[in-house]
Every structure is written in structure tokens, then in C-alpha cells.
Amino acid sequence: MEASNFFKFNKQQDQFEGDSSKDLWSIFKIMGEFVEGYDKLFRVGPCISVYGSARLKPGSKYYEMAVETAELITESGFGVITGGGPGIMEAGNRGAHNKDGKSVGLGIELPFEQGVNDYVHPKYEINFKYFFVRKVMFVKYAQAFIVFPGGFGTLDELFETLTLIQTEKIKKIPIVLIGSEYWGGLTDWITNQLVEGGFINPDDTELFYLTDDHVDAVNYVCDFYKKQKPEPNFDY
């Protein structure tokens, strides 16, 4: 190895080792987020997660439906967990707030979203730096997911939860998709491509429930818990 390349390699190695020590210290930050999340959410009690697009505005069809959904959830004795942001998340917290219910917001540091919405109860506000920690909190402490139309983030959370149930990493919980005009193409693709192609079992399509009626969505969740007691997914 030429001398210039040798010294260049050693300089890169020194920098790598410095970055490695930073990574080790970041473990403590990650642990801190887990501890705060576990401590706060364990005390909240049974909740249902409402999530979907952050871009939908008040007055839009699904925003208003999400408000009404969260109101019904609260009246049914559950709290409401959202990502704490705008759009469907705000609508979910707003519905819980309207009925004096538990309105939980799991915020995330993003360059294009500033803080949690005004309808998150200060007692139930938690902010995260790490997406994966936040996602663990959703899965661990939400007893059901009611999913409105959304983008990549919504799809990511939906499919991660379906995967965890399919692989029995967590117990089965209700997952309800609202809006056949939005979800219909996806559910058809799941049947026509994944099931027909042998990529998933036919009964995997029973892991979610599609409806256009938010009252039906909440009733579906409540009926599920008439047969068993809601509890956190402690094994996750």
C-alpha cells in the first residue's frame, strides 16, 4: 500500500471509531425513550389507535369521520392514541377531546411537522426522536387500529402490524380499514396477487376488516373485546 493511501485509510479508520462511540452513546437515548413511553402509556389504560394521512384538512370527508370515530371510541370506554400530528391524527385527538376522553399523542421530530396538535392532553403527550421506538409504543399499547387513508407512513404502520400478527410476535388485535374507495384496490391486490400467488395464506386476509361505516368500525372493535380482556402486548 502506498504511503498516501495508508495514511488516508488510517484517518478513515479513526473517524469510523469516533462515529462508533457516538452510536454506543445513542443507545442511552433510545433506552430513555423506551422508559418514558412504557411508563406513561402503561398508566393510560386501554386505547385504540386512529391514524391516517397528516395532510387531510378539517372539513374533508375522512377528517370529519375520524373525529366522529374517536368520539365513539371514547364513549365506548377506550382512550385514543394518535401520532399527535395534523390531519387524521388531529381529528382523532379532537374527537377524544370533545368527549373528555384520554387523548394520547405520540409525536415525532420531523422537519415539516411542528409539535403535537392542540387536542393532545398534556398529560398524555410523548415526543420521540426515533421512529422505531414510536412504532413499538403504538403496537404495544393500542388494543386496535382504525386506519384511514394515508401515505407511506400509514402503509408502513399497517403492514408492520399485520406482519407482527401474522408471525405471532403479538396477539391478534382488530385492524379496521375505513374507506373502500381508497383501500379497495389494495385489498384486491392482496387477494389477487398475494393469496393467488401463494405468498400469504388465504386466512391472512382475515387479519383486517374493511368498511365504509365508522360506526361499524367501532362496533367491530367492541365486539372483539366482548370475548376477551384488552391488555398490552407485553411480548413485543
- Any idea of the CA torsion for 114, 117, 121, 123, to the nearest 10 degrees? -10
**Distance between CA atoms of 67 and 89, rounded to whole angstroms?**
9
Assigned C-alpha cell, 2: 502506498
Question: Which distant-in-sequence residues (6+ apart) come within 8 Å of 61 by Cβ?
Answer: none
- Give the pLDDT confidence of 121-180 residue by residue, as tens digits: 999 999 898 889 989 998 888 999 999 999 999 999 999 999 999 999 999 999 999 999
pLDDT at 20: 65
8-224 is classed in which CATH architecture? 3-Layer(aba) Sandwich (3.40)
Candidates 60, 46, 110; CA nearest to 90 is 60
pLDDT at 25: 79
pLDDT at 2: 56
Q: Which helix (H) or strand (E) holds 49?
A: strand 47-51
**Residue 157: CA atoms inside 13 Å, Cβ hemisphere, count?**
31
148 with 53: CB under 8 angstroms? yes
- Give the pLDDT confidence of 58-91 residue by residue, as tens digits: 999 999 999 999 999 999 999 999 999 999 999 9
**Distance between CA atoms of 18 and 12, rounded to whole angstroms?**
10
Question: Which distant-in-sequence residues (6+ apart) come within 8 Å of 170 by Cβ?
Answer: 139, 161, 164, 233, 235, 236
- Give the pLDDT confidence of 165-197 residue by residue, as tens digits: 999 999 999 999 999 999 999 999 999 999 999
